[in-house]
Amino acid sequence: MNIILLGAPGAGKGTQASKIVEEYKLPHISTGDIFRANIQAETPIGVIAKFHIDQGHLVPDDVTCEIVEERLAQDDCKQRGYLLDGFPRTIPQAEMLDGIEKIDAVININVDTSLLMDRLCGRRVCSSCKESYHVSRLNGATTCEKCGGELFQRKDDNPETVASRLQVYTAQTAPLIDYYTKKGVIVNVHGNASPDEVFAEIREKLDVLKK
């Protein structure tokens, strides 16, 4: 199965992606992870990506498409299918993808905006294992309960940047929902619920598609 995962920042995409790839044994293709690795290594693509991300903008289509196309051409994706996370984000990206791949399902996680703001601005991430927590459930703790690593707030999780990220998402990515709805592959999921409840809905709907 070739699956795309859609959802605003803070919609729980990362959590659901982990559950989906484990359940269906799919490679997890996260453009965010690929970019972060490039930024850390200060590659030419990483430098371009950082410039745009720091301003709360998306990375340009040509850069992103090149990275994705190269990754989907590898053996694991050809054999098993994949879960695409963070791509496509624009109609031109979706059209490019349609030119090279057949997409079976586009999972769209819907979460209320006020809940997204609260989740993102209150998020604390472990510097070691990357587990994320919400500040309201930490009781003042500053270290990760899984590995003891130091918790920090991501630079782009402040209210101003979060508002900008959500606006960018709505303006540029929401049209994709129309695009894939018209193609008949959209799978809408209620994302306000707990991670396990959200995943149960995803699995139920994907299993119907597989039959």
Q: Please give the DSSP secondary-structure letter assigned to residue 74.
A: S
Judged by CB, which is closer to Zn ion: 128, or 192?
128
CB atoms within 10 A of CB 34: 20
Q: How far apart are CA 14 and CA 27, in angstroms?
A: 14
Residue 60 Cβ vs Zn ion, minimum distance, rounded to whole Å? 33
Residue 64 Cβ vs Zn ion, minimum distance, rounded to whole Å? 29
* Residues 119 and 134: beta-carbon distance below 8 Å: yes
151-152 and 123-126 strand pairing:
antiparallel
Q: Which of 144, 166, 185, 198 binds Zn ion (CB under 5 A)?
A: 144
- Known catalytic residues are 13, 89, 123, 154, 165
Check residue 129 for interaction with Zn ion (CB under 5 A): yes
Binding residues for Zn ion, rule CB under 5 A, total 8
**Binding region for Zn ion (CB under 5 A) out of 50-58, 71-79, 100-108, 145-153:** 145-153
Judged by CB, which is closer to Zn ion: 128, or 164?
128
Q: How many CA atoms lie within 13 A of 129 on its CB side?
A: 10
Site for Zn ion in 67-126 (CB under 5 A): 126
Q: How far apart are CA 78 and CA 174, in angstroms?
A: 28
Chain centroid to Cα 178, Å, comes to 18
Residue 122 Cβ vs Zn ion, minimum distance, rounded to whole Å? 17
Check residue 37 for interaction with Zn ion (CB under 5 A): no
Identify the CA nearest to 55 among candidates 163, 139, 164, 145: 164
Judged by CB, which is closer to Zn ion: 126, or 162?
126
Residue 16 Cβ vs Zn ion, minimum distance, rounded to whole Å? 20
Q: Which of 149, 164, 193, 203 binds Zn ion (CB under 5 A)?
A: 149
Judged by CB, which is closer to Zn ion: 100, or 141?
141
Q: Which of 47, 100, 147, 171 binds Zn ion (CB under 5 A)?
A: 147
105-110 and 186-190 strand pairing:
parallel
Identify the CA nearest to 3 among candidates 84, 78, 79: 84
The footprint of Zn ion (CB under 5 A) covers 126, 128-129, 131, 144, 146-147, 149
